[in-house]
Amino acid sequence: MEAVLMREEAVARPEGGKHVKLNVTLKSITSLAENINAFEFVSSDCGPLPAFSAGSHVDVHLPGSTIRQYSLCNSPAERHRYVVAVLRDASGRGGSVAMHDNLRVGQKLVISAPRNHFALEESARTHVFIAGGIGITPIMSMLAEVQRRGEQFHLFYCARTPERTAFLDRLKPLIDRGLVSLHFDDGDPQKGLDLTATLTKRSDNAHLYYCGPGRFMDAIEKASAHWPAGTRHCERFSASGTVAPSIDSSSRDGQERPVPFELELRRAQKTFTVQAEESIVDVLRANGVEVDTSCCEGYCGTCMTRYLEGEPLHRDTVLDEEDREEFVMICCSRSKSGKLVLDL
Ligand code: FES
C-alpha cells in the first residue's frame, strides 16, 4: 500500500517509535458482496475518532498477535466511525479469514490510528481511479472526498462478476451519471478493461490512482508509463516485483551480499549487531524489544521507525523520498552505513 503523500498528514508519525493505538468496538458487520464484508468500528469510549484523510488505512490487531492493514472505505468527513471492507481469502495469510470467521459484533479490538500512504494529490483537479476487486476500498473514501471538493473524476471498476463486486448500491448514482464504469471479465483477462486504450490520453493536471491485485497493478503501471512523474499513485497489498533486491555491498566476485552493521537504540541506550542473515526486527525481538510488524515485506507501513543517524538501505514500497530522510521500515531495510541509530 504506497504512493505519494499529503504532506500535512502523510504518515501517522510513530510516537516514541510506536504507532498510536486506539481501543474500538466492532459495531456492525455487513455483507457487501460474495465473500466481502464491511466491518464498522466505533471508539470504545463513544467519543470521536481521529480524523483521517482519503486513502488512509488502519492496522487491525486481531486475536493471536496477527496485525493486518485495511483501508478505510467510509467518508473522511465522518468522525464517529471507521469502516473497512474485507474479502475473505481462504488462500491468504489468515487475516481475512480471522476477520470473517472470528470477529463478532460488540467485540473490543485495538487498531492503529489511520495512516495514509495513498493520498489524493492536493494540486490535482481531475482524478482517474482504477480499482481491481477489493482494491476498491481506499478508492471509496477518495470518491467521497473528491465529490465533497467538487473535483472531476472517473472510476474504472474491474471485477469478475456483479455478485463479487462490493459497493454497487453506493456507486449506483455515480454509475447513472457516467462517472463510474464497470468492467466484468468473469475471470478471463481477454474480457478485461483495455488499460492501454484507457490510459493513452491524459487530460491536463490529471492524476491516476490505482489499487488491486499485483498483476493488474503491474499492467496499469506499464500502460501509464508515459504519464509524467508524480502523477501516478498506487497502493499495493503485496510486495511489488520492483522492491530493491536483498543486497547491500559489492564483493570481488561481482555479487552483492548483505553485510553486518551496528544498530543503536538511542533512547534505550543499547547497541546490537545485525548480522548479514538477520533483519533489524529479528535482532530487536531477540533482545526483548517489542516491535509491531505485519507484512514483513515492506509494503504495509506497520514497522515504520524514525532513525536519527546513519544511512538506511531502504527496501520498502511505502515511503517517498522525503519520508525516507526520517523514517525506515525495519522489517526489510538494512543500513548502508556501518551504524544505524534508531529513535527507540
Ligand atoms: S511489517 Fe509491513 S512494512 Fe514492515
pLDDT tens digits, 42-83: 999 999 999 999 999 999 999 887 888 999 999 999 999 999
pLDDT of residue 277: 86
Closest residue to atom 3 of ligand 1, CA basis: 298
As a CATH number, domain 126-235 is: 3.40.50.80
List where CATH 3.40.50.80 sits in the chain: 126-235
Pocket mutation for ligand 1, best pick of 2, 240, 314, 329 (most atoms within 8 Å of C-beta): 329
- Tell me the CA–centroid distance for residue 152 and ligand 1, in Å: 34
Element (H, E) at 169: helix 168-176
Q: Which residues line ligand 1 (CB under 6 A)?
A: 293-296, 298-303, 316, 329, 331
As a whole number of angstroms, the distance between CA 151 and CA 205 comes to 12
Atom of ligand 1 lying closest to residue 294 CA: 1
As a whole number of angstroms, the distance between CA 239 and CA 218 comes to 12
Residue 40 DSSP symbol: E
- Tell me the CA–centroid distance for residue 85 and ligand 1, in Å: 21
As a whole number of angstroms, the distance between CA 268 and CA 221 comes to 43
Q: Are 68 and 99 in contact (CB under 8 A)?
A: yes
Pocket mutation for ligand 1, best pick of 294, 305, 327, 342 (most atoms within 8 Å of C-beta): 294
- Tell me the CA–centroid distance for residue 304 and ligand 1, in Å: 7
- Tell me the CA–centroid distance for residue 298 and ligand 1, in Å: 4
Q: Are 160 and 135 in contact (CB under 8 A)?
A: no
Q: Are 275 and 260 in contact (CB under 8 A)?
A: yes
- Give tens-digit pLDDT for 243-300: 333 333 334 444 456 788 999 999 999 999 998 889 999 999 999 998 988 888 898 8
| Signed CA dihedral, 240, 241, 244, 247: sign only | positive
Pocket mutation for ligand 1, best pick of 57, 279, 292, 300 (most atoms within 8 Å of C-beta): 300
List where CATH 3.10.20.30 sits in the chain: 249-342
pLDDT of residue 297: 87
Give the phi and the psi of residue 313 in degrees, each rounded to 5. Answer: -100, 95
Decide which of 3.10.20.30, 3.40.710.10, 3.40.50.1360, 1.10.357.10 is the CATH code for 249-342: 3.10.20.30
CA 110 to chain centre: 18
Atom of ligand 1 lying closest to residue 293 CA: 1
Atom of ligand 1 lying closest to residue 296 CA: 1
- Tell me the CA–centroid distance for residue 246 and ligand 1, in Å: 15
Residues of the chain scoring pLDDT < 50: 1-12, 16-17, 240-255
- Tell me the CA–centroid distance for residue 228 and ligand 1, in Å: 29
- Tell me the CA–centroid distance for residue 17 and ligand 1, in Å: 14
Q: Which of 221, 184, 216, 223 is nearest to 201 (CA)?
A: 223
- Tell me the CA–centroid distance for residue 190 and ligand 1, in Å: 34
- Tell me the CA–centroid distance for residue 110 and ligand 1, in Å: 18
As a whole number of angstroms, the distance between CA 224 and CA 214 comes to 15
In terms of Cβ atoms closer than 10 Å to its own Cβ (0-12, 13-18, 19+), residue 105 is: exposed
Pocket mutation for ligand 1, best pick of 66, 293, 315, 323 (most atoms within 8 Å of C-beta): 293
pLDDT of residue 238: 60
Joined grid coordinates for residue 8: 500535512
- Tell me the CA–centroid distance for residue 182 and ligand 1, in Å: 33
pLDDT of residue 19: 67
Joined grid coordinates for residue 134: 477489493
As a whole number of angstroms, the distance between CA 327 and CA 344 comes to 12
Atom of ligand 1 lying closest to residue 332 CA: 4
pLDDT of residue 190: 85
